[in-house]
A and B are shown apart, each in its own frame.
Chain A
Amino acid sequence: MTTLAGNLTAAARPLAEAEDVRPIRRRLGPGEPIRFGGLVGIVALLALWVVGSATGLLDPRTLTEPWTVLQTAGTLVENGRLQESLLTSGVRAALGLGLGVLVGTVLAVVSGLSRIGESLIDGPIQVKRSIPTLALIPLLILWLGIGEPMKVITIALAVFVPIYIHTHNGLRTIEGRYAELAETLGVTRGEFVRHVVLPGAMPGFLLGLRFAVTSSLLALVVVEVINATSGIGHMITLASNYGQTDIIVVGLVVYALLGVTADAVVRLIERKALSWRRTLAG
């Protein structure tokens, strides 16, 4: 304060070229974002793994050395086991996800647009939501056996709940004024659904889809570890029996890659489908 006052009372001296005098407040917020900041932690963790293994601090029986994991991955690719398992797991997850998304969306639209639909559908789904899908597996095994249908349906059951919840919520939060507008423009119910309801519920649906992708992978891991004869989970379970840490780590890396890839795809869809919103964010 005193310095500011001092500056003001001092006789105005000529301004030097490119002179920059201004009061600056101490920053309290986190400041500028770091470029590729999201990767820093991952790289640090990998470095820790490499250093730990190289110095012998990490016992290979606890966690295999990174180079052995790469070698094992190479071998598994060479003999085709990795691709085969990945394909099986991928198809399972995709089928379950597709089925769950379809069912969840249809139920959400029916329940969001009609009061009768809501009365019939919403209650049971809220109850279903409070039962962890994985707790249903014993019953599903009795009903469907341990084959592919049981696996796909378990995944679908885990997926349709977040899709339903978020799409339904998206539908319900479409502002009533848009419905009013549609009424004054004399549009039909079909046009209303196509031009107002579905695009309006899209942000909710896509949020639900991101949760659904995570749920589908979780359910995939569980159904594959419990009783499968193929897939990444089966590969991991076998390796566990023989104490092959390297194969387990390869399996985990593949799961991680599946998850990251699926999330990236959903985000890409989000960017395309919600470009009308992106302009808001700048």
Chain B
Amino acid sequence: MASHTGRLTPAVRVQSLHRSFNEAGGVLNGLDLDIAPGEFVALLGRSGSGKSTLLRALAGLDRGVAGTGRIEVPDKVSVVFQDSRLLPWKRVLDNVTLGLRSGDASDRGRQALDEVGLAGRERAWPHELSGGEQQRASLARSLVRDPQLILADEPFGALDALTRIRMHTLLRRLCEVHQPAVLLVTHDVDEAIVLADRVIVLDGGVVRHDARVELDGRRSQADPAFARLRARLLTELGVEDDHDAAAPSHVERAAS
């Protein structure tokens, strides 16, 4: 998939995208965005900055919303929602393979569940899983479709802090294996820096800041470069960050 021609044509191309829900003003005001194949982009922004509107536009879920512009996305797009959105009346495996028509759907579903660490839970009901496990199952449901683009809307927002760290590790590993382009909406600056190749800050319906994350493999909050990027992004988001500038390193030491 990451062929040379693939590198040249972006996986996602958005040109002068406008979306508005009422006459008063647009939520997206001429947004431009390219995402390369296999690139992991995190999308930050305050509430109302248009993050979710952009994501829903890319997912094709914004029927009936007024707007103009051009969106090009790959054929195979998977969406990961904030809630795992597993059908409560289907067992985990049936949830993962929902809508797959190939004969080996069940085998592929099992394999995907194995990949997210849920082997053996195929026959469980969604309610029997913990929040983190439900979100793993929903990742498996996305991956089993072999997506060229994953759109994730605050997928770990509802999880507790420890589970979230484990999910970060899992997601990074899965992305290394499958190489999909990813657009991750989050309000967590640390999450964005830990996961993404590129962090975009959205404000007033346009891209306000576009930063490549130039940190090597193991991204530690103790790294001064991490802290600098974090401070810069927080400034772009309009947050004065002084109270916990030192705190993260303490937490880091305590955790390790």
The interface of chain A, by Cβ under 8 A from chain B, is 177-178, 180-187, 191, 195-196, 199-200, 202, 275-277, 279-280
Contact = CB atoms under 8 A, between A and B. Distances in A.
A178 B60 CA distance: 15
Interface stretch (B40-48, B83-91, B114-122, B157-165): B83-91
Main secondary structure of the interface of A (DSSP, over half): helix
Contacts of B85: 177-178, 181
A276 B98 contact: no
Contacts of A202: 89
Given A187-B99, A279-B125, A195 B90 contact: yes
Main secondary structure of the interface of B (DSSP, over half): loop
A161 B163 CA distance: 48
A181 B87 CA distance: 9
Interface of B: 59-61, 77-79, 81, 83, 85, 87-90, 98-99, 125-128, 141, 145
A277 B90 CA distance: 11
A187 B78 CA distance: 13
A196 B90 CA distance: 9
A186 B128 CA distance: 27
Contacts, number: 52
Contact of B88 (A182, A187, A277): A277
Given A178-B87, A181-B81, A199-B90, A276 B127 contact: yes
Given A177-B83, A177-B85, A195-B90, A185 B61 contact: no
A276 B192 CA distance: 36
A275 B59 CA distance: 33
B106 to A, nearest CB: 15
A276 B94 CA distance: 13
B98 to A, nearest CB: 6
A185 B87 CA distance: 13
A89 to B, nearest CB: 36
B61 A184 contact: yes
B127 A182 contact: no
Contacts of A277: 88-89
Contact of A199 (B77, B89, B127): B89
A279 B87 CA distance: 14
A186 B99 contact: yes
A200 B125 contact: no
B87 A184 contact: no
Contact of A185 (B60, B83, B88, B99): B99
